[in-house]
Amino acid sequence: MSENKSYRLEIPSSQNHLAEADRFLEGHLKQHGIDQDSIADLAISATELINNAIIHGNKSNPDKIVTIELEFTDKHLSISITDQGPGFKPEDIPSPISDENILKEAGRGIFIVRSLVDDLQVEEPPEGGTRMIIIKKLAS
């Protein structure tokens, strides 16, 4: 790959659109020759973050959108998921592996995503909301 490529999808804040987002992601990842194991890890990670954006960020308000952007460069790919919610601080999320949280069923998503990708960044875009960015390094 010698040039950057980017793709964008906007979906309403409804879990009914998760399959559409999944097809969008997997289609472009396959098109760019990403291996099947990486596609699985990235799809799990992105779906988790999209779900969080719908439920926690946009409070399942169908008038708010979730924006999914993919960018491929020579060295890495990034998947950014942006909601239109009030924002949050990742450091405020309790650790899912601490003794008091180890048996809880919720609260593991970001922890799992961090274990599946090379980097996870959180930004507060100037227009508001939260942008989560998954980074995956590509073999040269």
Question: For the domain that residue 12 is a member of, what is the CATH number?
Answer: 3.30.565.10
**pLDDT value of residue 1:** 44
Residue 75: the pLDDT is 92
Closest CA to 136 of 78, 50, 81, 73: 78
Task: Supply the pLDDT for residue 127.
Answer: 87
Range of the domain at 16: 5-137
Going by pLDDT thresholds of 50, 70 and 90, the confidence category of residue 54 is very high
Interacting residues of 57 by C-beta distance below 8 A, sequence separation 6+: 13, 66, 83, 84, 85, 86, 88, 129, 130
Number of domains in the chain: 1
Supply the pLDDT for residue 107.
54
